[in-house]
Structure 1
Amino acid sequence: MPTESAHVLEVKDLAVEFHTVQGRVKAVRDVSFYLDRGETLAILGESGSGKSVSASAIMNLIDTPPGYITQGSIQYRGQDLLGMSAAKRREINGCKIAMIFQDPLAHLNPVYPVGWQIAELLRAHGVDKATANAKALELMQRVGLPNAEERFDAYPHQFSGGQRQRLMIAMALGLEPDILIADEPTTALDVTVQAQILELLQQLQAETGMGLLLITHDLGVVADIADRVVVMNGGEIVEAGSTRDVFKHPRHPYTQKLIAAAPGKGELHTGAPLDTNQTPLLQVDNVVKYYGGLKALKGASFNLMPGETLAIVGESGSGKSTLARTLLRLEEPNSGRALYKGRDLFAMSPAELFEIRREIQMVFQDPTQSLNPRMRVEQLISEAWAIHPDLLPRAQWSERVAQLLVQVGLLPEHAQRYPHQFSGGQRQRIAIARALAMSPELIICDEAVSALDVSIQAQVVELLDDLRRNLNLSYIFIAHDLPVVRDFADRVIVMQNGEIVEIGTVEQIFNNPQQAYTRDLLAASLEADPDIQAERRAERAATRATCAV
Structure 2
Amino acid sequence: MADHLLEVRNLSVDFHTVTGTVHAVRNISYYLDRGETLAILGESGSGKSVSSSAIMNLIDMPPGKITSGEILLDGKDLLKMSAEARREVNGRRIAMIFQDPLSHLNPVYTVGWQMREALKTHGISTKQAQAEALRLFKRVALPDPERALDKYPHEFSGGQRQRVMIAMALALKPDLLIADEPTTALDVTVQAEVLALLKELQRETGMGVLIITHDLGVVSEVADRVVVMEKGQLVESGTVRDVYRNPQHAYTKKLIAAAPGKGEMHEPEAQGEPILSVKDARKSYGDFEALKGVSFDLKQGETVAVVGESGSGKSTLARILLRLEEPDGGTAYWKGKDLFTMSPGDLFKLRRDLQMVFQDPTQSLNPRMTVYQLISEAWVIHPEIMPKDKWRERVGELLGQVGLSPEHVGRYPHQFSGGQRQRIAIARALALEPQLIVCDEAVSALDVSVQAQVITLLDKLRKEMGIAFIFIAHDLPLVRDFADYVMVMQKGEVVELGTVAQVFDNPQKPYTQALLAASLDPDPDVQAASRNARLASVS
**TM-score, normalised relative to structure 1:** 0.89
Q: State the AA in 2 paired with 1:90.
A: R
**Does the 8 Å contact 1:409/1:429 carry over to 2?**
no
**Does the 8 Å contact 1:408/1:463 carry over to 2?**
no
C-alpha separation in 2, matches of 1:477 and 1:406 = 24
* Residue 322 of structure 2 corresponds to residue 325 of structure 1: no
Which shifted more, 54-63 or 225-234?
A: 54-63
- Residue 219 of structure 1 is matched in structure 2 by 216
- Residue 355 of structure 1 is matched in structure 2 by 349
C-alpha separation in 1, matches of 2:447 and 2:330 = 38
1:59-117 deviation line (CA, Å, top 9, x unaligned): 22222222222212111112222222223223322222222222334323344444443
* Residue 270 of structure 2 corresponds to residue 274 of structure 1: yes
**Does the 8 Å contact 1:43/1:214 carry over to 2?**
yes
Which shifted more, 202-211 or 445-454?
A: 445-454
Structure 2 residue aligned with 1:479, among 473, 476, 481? 473
**Does the 8 Å contact 2:160/2:310 carry over to 1?**
no
**Does the 8 Å contact 2:37/2:222 carry over to 1?**
yes
SS of the equivalent of 1:295 reads strand
| Shift in alpha-carbon separation, 1:444–1:120, aligned structure 2, 3 A | closer
- Residue 492 of structure 1 is matched in structure 2 by 486
**Does the 8 Å contact 1:381/1:401 carry over to 2?**
no
C-alpha separation in 1, matches of 2:490 and 2:239 = 38
SS of the equivalent of 1:493 reads strand
Query: Where do 5+ consecutive residues of structure 1 fail to align?
Result: none
1:504-535 deviation line (CA, Å, top 9, x unaligned): 11111111111111111111111111111111
SS of the equivalent of 1:355 reads helix
| Shift in alpha-carbon separation, 1:226–1:471, aligned structure 2, 3 A | same
C-alpha separation in 2, matches of 1:235 and 1:406 = 26
- Residue 397 of structure 1 is matched in structure 2 by 388
* Residue 254 of structure 2 corresponds to residue 257 of structure 1: yes
- Residue 100 of structure 2 is matched in structure 1 by 103
Structure 2 residue aligned with 1:303, among 297, 305, 311? 297
Structure 1 residue 243, shift from structure 2 partner: 0.6
RMSD in angstroms over aligned alpha carbons? 2.7
Structure 2 residue aligned with 1:406, among 394, 397, 414? 397
- Residue 195 of structure 2 is matched in structure 1 by 198
- Residue 176 of structure 2 is matched in structure 1 by 179
| Shift in alpha-carbon separation, 1:502–1:125, aligned structure 2, 3 A | closer
- Residue 56 of structure 1 is matched in structure 2 by 53
Counting only pairs closer than 5 Å after superposition, residues 29-40 of structure 1 correspond to structure 2 as: 29-40=26-37
C-alpha separation in 1, matches of 2:153 and 2:425 = 30
Structure 2 residue aligned with 1:283, among 277, 282, 307? 277
Structure 1 residue aligned with 2:228, among 231, 256, 259? 231
Structure 1 residue 34, shift from structure 2 partner: 1.0
Structure 1 residue aligned with 2:497, among 468, 480, 503? 503
- Residue 73 of structure 1 is matched in structure 2 by 70
SS of the equivalent of 1:347 reads coil
**TM-score, normalised relative to structure 2:** 0.91
Structure 1 residue 307, shift from structure 2 partner: 1.7
Counting only pairs closer than 5 Å after superposition, residues 403-482 of structure 1 correspond to structure 2 as: 403=394, 405-406=396-397, 409-410=400-401, 417-420=410-413, 428=422, 430-482=424-476
Indicate the percent of aligned positions where both proteins have the same amino acid.
65
* Residue 7 of structure 2 corresponds to residue 13 of structure 1: no
**Does the 8 Å contact 1:46/1:217 carry over to 2?**
yes
1:353-405 deviation line (CA, Å, top 9, x unaligned): 2223332222323445434444455554454444345x347xx3333663575
Structure 2 residue aligned with 1:314, among 308, 324, 331? 308
Query: Where do 5+ consecutive residues of structure 2 fail to align?
Result: none
- Residue 85 of structure 2 is matched in structure 1 by 88
**Does the 8 Å contact 2:13/2:24 carry over to 1?**
yes
Q: State the AA in 1 paired with 2:437.
A: I
1:476-499 deviation line (CA, Å, top 9, x unaligned): 222121111111111111111111
**Does the 8 Å contact 2:159/2:185 carry over to 1?**
no
Q: State the AA in 2 paired with 1:297.
A: L
C-alpha separation in 2, matches of 1:436 and 1:147 = 39
Q: Which has the larger radius of gyration?
A: 1
C-alpha separation in 1, matches of 2:377 and 2:101 = 33
Structure 1 residue 119, shift from structure 2 partner: 3.6
C-alpha separation in 2, matches of 1:404 and 1:151 = 42
